[in-house]
Amino acid sequence: MNVTTTLSLKAGAILLACALAGCSSKVTETKQYSGFIADYSNLAPAKTASGQEVLRWVAPDFRLSNYKSLYFAPVIYYPKPMPNKRVTEQTLEQVRLYTDQRLRSALGAHIRIASQPEPGGLILKTAIAAVSAENKDLRFYEVLPVTAVVAGTMALSGQRSQNATLFLEAEAIDVSTNETVAKVVRKGYGGSISNSNAPITQADVKGAIDVMISDVTAYVSN
């Protein structure tokens, strides 16, 4: 078999694997926007301190140090979540509380948290848009002509391993001007789940939240 034929087979296998098993996007896709943020049009790709890809917009003159306080609105789900066998109501509340507590604590180390919006302060609104799971991306050794078909069949039958995912949207608003000064839409990856029928727990999503909080801490520290 010559080099051209080998490359063609590998390329074809990759395309076949993507078609069958699904090549996932590392950022939130337009169709996955929740509507929590009023305007998504000026979001642009950006890299976080941990190297993760996000969609973000920040006003050129925005500095957290310019504000006296932060009103941290409780983290919510938007739209209203639909518990099911994979993600129970209890899990959803555990994920929400953990996100709220970690984010509040991280920001509170850099700015005073106020009990209500104050002049000269900020408002931060945060929503979890989805807690779900998706098939893992295929590795190189899985895209040989035969194994690509096997992996694709496993994905269709629900037996392929998955990653827990968390979709988060946040918007910071200047209290004095009532204008948005920063917003971000982020997709985070948590732990590994054995298959598409296995339940998703708070522990599965925890890693995604922890990385997000670490990136928030690194950003506001600059």
Please, what are the domains in the chain?
A: 25-136+160-221 (3.40.50)
- Helix 145-156 vs helix 3-21: angle between axes, to the nearest 10 degrees? 0
Strand-strand pairing, 76-77 and 162-174: unpaired
Peptide bond into 79 cis (omega under 30): yes
Per the CB < 8 A criterion, the answer to whether 97 and 150 are in contact is no
Per the CB < 8 A criterion, the answer to whether 162 and 137 are in contact is no
C-alpha to C-alpha distance for 218 and 220, rounded to whole angstroms: 6
Q: What is the token pair recorded at 209?
A: 């939240």
Q: According to the model, what pLDDT value does residue 28 have? A: 85
In tens, the pLDDT along 25-75 reads 678 888 889 999 989 999 999 999 999 999 999 999 999 999 999 999 999
What is the value of pTM for the model shown? 0.80
Q: According to the model, what pLDDT value does residue 133 have? A: 79
In tens, the pLDDT along 84-131 reads 888 999 999 999 999 999 999 999 999 999 999 999 999 999 999 999
Q: Collapsing DSSP states into helix, strand and coil, what is residue 93?
A: helix
- Render 53-81 in DSSP notation, one character per residue: EEEEEE-TT--GGG-S-EEEPPPEESS--
Name the band, by pLDDT with cuts 50, 70 and 90, for residue 181. Answer: very high
Q: According to the model, what pLDDT value does residue 10 have? A: 43
Q: Collapsing DSSP states into helix, strand and coil, what is residue 17?
A: helix
163 pLDDT higher than 90: no
Q: What is the token pair recorded at 194?
A: 């054995």
E-only strand ranges, the chain: 44-47, 53-58, 70-72, 76-77, 113-114, 122-135, 162-174, 180-193
Per the CB < 8 A criterion, the answer to whether 145 and 175 are in contact is no
In tens, the pLDDT along 120-155 reads 999 999 999 999 877 665 444 333 444 344 444 444
Q: Collapsing DSSP states into helix, strand and coil, what is residue 20?
A: helix
Q: According to the model, what pLDDT value does residue 25 have? A: 67
C-alpha to C-alpha distance for 153 and 159, rounded to whole angstroms: 9
